[in-house]
């Protein structure tokens, strides 16, 4: 067993455990803290796969947004200060079954993939994978359509948010 | 490689040789080297803060017609050490009802977030922690960790004022991240790489001469990110109750204090790295230790400007601060990045000096137009209050103080 595999096992256990703690801990704030640990675990997995860009983006986009998430927790949830509140809702088993089925589907689908058994291919240290990723995003033969669709979707969300939040002066009074 | 040309790398190589001599493999030696290096850099940064606090208090004192610290040691140099010893011996009071994890994690996070920025900054041609290909993104990402520290402090303290202060601080930091990131994209675009080492190597001439508009936005946004005057709404001690750190005492409060000073210094050396050519200077390529000297000189010039900023500007109101960000800096930075992208692409095939001159001209035009637009409708003449002349204390010799017995 190589050092990388040991690192992977430790990180995977920590990530899964803190993922469970996100939904199992009694206080909302502690859930947010566990979420930081979960996302950090995923970032480390990216880093061990030599995808440094994704590791940093994981930290930047998700962990950086935790403070905003905490603000939403404070402002939008009731009884955030309480020690005890119900932890499960009625019919909790339905999402659980859905999650298990989804996991089974993804795992089964991946198992049929021919490269599933392949071990990690070491990239050369000076591999320009960041530049390759960048040009793939704007390449017509690559991912330009999903990229543009996502951009338009985000723009629409932004415009919508501004429209909802803007003061309408004519309706005042 | 001789010792005097590059002492740090010389010591590292010597230590590696020593480890190899007692039979350690190169892999282990590198790992141990990283651990020791991280420890030395972090400890060095923390001790450096002691000097920074003295420097800043002395300068602020001068700006305010005072002497600043002048009792302990020559020119008051040992004052911060005395303060440090005092803060070590203070009682750590934990208020009742705190969220223990959040309360104790917050000071650590706020210092760690700043120290992590030291890991990727190239201090000289050969002396840097790591050269990661996404260095500048790393800086922004660990800046976000500092925000998490602030909100945890506000929440964990079990105090409404602390919580309101934390919300105020996070609103400010998150808002100013937008122009900060957009203006940091300009050097990335001009270099074609996100690694800080590459950005420094590519600065010929310095990027402040190529893109002064982006540099100005970056500087203002990084001052706001450090949360100091005129952007110190997060802890406006003289007007509202100090923000997220009201419930902290002793060393835990000291951690926030150290984090703030270190962040101001770190912000100035990041500005130097990204826009002022980092370690570049005459002879720095051949003699790397000269690069470290240039880097420190430039950093202290920027830090001096930061302190002048702090000492001379009144505090913004919160609506003025948000107006400055969302109505001036963000649109301006978007215009700057579009214009620079366009000009850089149009003149990609022309000579380097021509492209630089055109980029500079485009930036200056943007700045002038922006200045005109902002000034429109602003009252420019104000009634004068009081007389122009006022008595100031002006000692003839800055280093000899009245009452110390020496003749000035």
Which of A67, A82, A97 is the C-terminal boundary of a domain? A82
pLDDT at A42 (0 to 100): 92
Please indicate, yes or no, if residue A93 is contained in any of the structural domains.
no
Which of A26, A47, A82 is the C-terminal boundary of a domain? A82
Please indicate, yes or no, if residue A120 is contained in any of the structural domains.
no
Cα–Cα distance list, B208 to A33, A103, B215, B346 (Å): 40, 52, 6, 21
Report how far residue B339's alpha carbon sits from residue B333's, in angstroms, rounded to the nearest whole number.
Answer: 10
pLDDT value at B213 more than 60: yes
pLDDT value at B402 more than 80: no
Please indicate, yes or no, if residue A103 is contained in any of the structural domains.
no
What is the rounded average pLDDT of the residues A140-147?
Answer: 89
pLDDT value at A12 more than 80: yes
Please indicate, yes or no, if residue A76 is contained in any of the structural domains.
yes
A71 shares its domain with A17:
yes
Chain A residues inside the 8 Å CB shell of B133: 52-53, 130
Please indicate, yes or no, if residue A29 is contained in any of the structural domains.
yes
pLDDT at B408 (0 to 100): 41
The band of B10, judged by pLDDT with boundaries at 50, 70 and 90, is confident
Cα–Cα distance list, B76 to B9, B88, B301, B304, B390 (Å): 34, 20, 22, 19, 28
pLDDT at B377 (0 to 100): 67
Residue-number span of the structural domain to which A40 is assigned = 1-82
pLDDT at B266 (0 to 100): 92
A64 shares its domain with A3:
yes
Please indicate, yes or no, if residue A59 is contained in any of the structural domains.
yes
pLDDT at B179 (0 to 100): 93
Please indicate, yes or no, if residue A115 is contained in any of the structural domains.
no
> What's chain A's average pLDDT?
83
pLDDT value at B154 more than 50: yes
CATH number, domain containing residue A19: 1.20.120.1200
Give tens-digit pLDDT for B257-312: 888 889 999 999 899 999 998 888 888 788 888 888 899 999 999 999 999 988 88
pLDDT at A82 (0 to 100): 64
Give tens-digit pLDDT for A24-34: 887 777 888 88
Share of chain A above pLDDT 70, in %: 88
Q: Pick from B101, B140, B167: which is nearest to A60 by CB?
A: B140
- In the A/B pair of chains, how many CB contacts fall below 8 A? 69
Report how far residue A26's alpha carbon sits from residue B102's, in angstroms, rounded to the nearest whole number.
Answer: 14
A56 contacts B141? CB cut-off 8 A: yes
A74 contacts B163? CB cut-off 8 A: yes
The band of B120, judged by pLDDT with boundaries at 50, 70 and 90, is confident
Enumerate the domain spans of chain B. Answer: 1-89, 94-374
Q: Pick from B102, B133, B140: which is nearest to A29 by CB?
A: B102
pLDDT at A118 (0 to 100): 77
Q: Pick from A30, A67, A130: which is nearest to B133 by CB?
A: A130
A152 shares its domain with A75:
no
B156 contacts A59? CB cut-off 8 A: no
Please indicate, yes or no, if residue A23 is contained in any of the structural domains.
yes
Lowest mean pLDDT among A9-13, A133-137, B215-219: A133-137
pLDDT at B405 (0 to 100): 53
Cα–Cα distance list, B38 to B12, B33, B262 (Å): 13, 8, 16
Lowest mean pLDDT among A73-77, B79-83, B114-118: A73-77
A131 shares its domain with A71:
no
Instruction: Single out the residue of B286, B338, B406 nearest to residue B1, CA to CA.
Output: B286
Instruction: Single out the residue of A72, B6, B189 nearest to residue B198, CA to CA.
Output: B189
pLDDT value at B407 more than 70: no
């Amino acid at each position: 067993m190589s050092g990388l595999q040991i690192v992977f096992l430790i990180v995977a256990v920590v990530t899964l455990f803190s993922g469970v703690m996100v939904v199992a801990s009694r206080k909302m704030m502690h859930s947010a803290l566990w979420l930081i640990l979960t996302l950090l675990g995923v970032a480390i997995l990216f880093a061990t796969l030599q995808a440094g860009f994704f590791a940093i983006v994981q930290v930047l986009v998700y962990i950086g947004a935790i403070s905003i998430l905490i603000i939403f927790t404070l402002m939008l949830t009731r009884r955030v200060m309480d020690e005890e509140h119900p932890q499960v809702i009625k019919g909790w088993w339905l999402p659980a079954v859905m999650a298990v089925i989804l996991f089974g589907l993804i795992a089964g689908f991946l198992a049929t993939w021919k490269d599933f058994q392949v071990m990690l291919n070491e990239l050369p240290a000076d591999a320009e994978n960041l530049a390759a990723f960048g040009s793939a995003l704007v390449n017509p033969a690559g991912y330009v359509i999903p990229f543009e669709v996502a951009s338009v979707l985000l723009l629409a969300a932004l415009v919508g948010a501004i429209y909802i939040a803007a003061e309408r002066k004519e309706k005042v009074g | 490689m001789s010792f005097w040309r590059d002492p740090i790398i010389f010591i590292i190589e010597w230590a590696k040789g020593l480890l190899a001599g007692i039979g350690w493999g190169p892999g282990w030696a590198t790992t141990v080297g990283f651990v020791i290096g991280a420890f030395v850099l972090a400890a060095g940064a923390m001790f450096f803060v002691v000097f920074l606090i003295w420097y800043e208090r002395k300068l602020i004192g001068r700006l305010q017609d005072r002497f600043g610290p002048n009792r302990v040691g020559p020119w008051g140099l040992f004052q911060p050490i005395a303060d440090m010893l005092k803060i070590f011996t203070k009682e750590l009071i934990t208020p009742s009802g705190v969220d223990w994890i959040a309360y104790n994690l917050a000071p650590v996070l706020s210092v760690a977030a700043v120290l992590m920025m030291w890991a990727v900054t190239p201090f000289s041609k050969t002396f840097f922690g790591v050269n990661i290909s996404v260095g500048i993104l790393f800086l922004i990402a660990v800046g976000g960790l500092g925000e998490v520290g602030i909100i945890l402090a506000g929440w964990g303290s079990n105090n409404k004022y602390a919580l309101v202060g934390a919300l105020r601080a996070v609103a400010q930091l998150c808002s100013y991240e937008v122009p900060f990131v957009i203006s940091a994209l300009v050097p990335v675009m001009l270099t074609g790489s996100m690694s800080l080492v590459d950005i420094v190597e590519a600065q010929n001439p310095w990027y402040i001469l190529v893109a002064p508009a982006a540099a100005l936005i970056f500087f203002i946004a990084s001052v706001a990110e450090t949360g100091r005057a005129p952007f110190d709404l997060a802890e406006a001690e003289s007007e509202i109750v100090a923000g997220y750190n009201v419930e902290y005492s002793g060393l835990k409060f000291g951690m926030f204090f150290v984090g703030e000073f270190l962040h101001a210094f770190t912000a100035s050396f990041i500005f130097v790295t990204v826009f002022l050519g980092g370690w570049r200077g005459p002879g720095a390529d051949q003699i790397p230790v000269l690069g470290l000297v240039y880097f420190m000189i430039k950093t202290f010039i920027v830090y001096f400007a930061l302190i002048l900023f702090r000492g001379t500007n009144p505090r913004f109101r919160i609506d003025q601060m948000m107006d400055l960000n969302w109505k001036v800096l963000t649109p301006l930075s978007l215009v700057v990045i579009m214009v620079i992208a366009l000009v850089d692409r149009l003149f990609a095939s022309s000579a380097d000096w021509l492209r630089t001159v055109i980029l500079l001209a485009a930036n200056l035009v943007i700045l002038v137009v922006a200045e005109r637009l902002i000034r429109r409708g602003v009252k420019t003449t104000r009634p004068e209050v009081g007389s122009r002349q006022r008595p100031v204390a002006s000692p003839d010799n800055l280093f000899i103080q009245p009452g110390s017995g020496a003749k000035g």
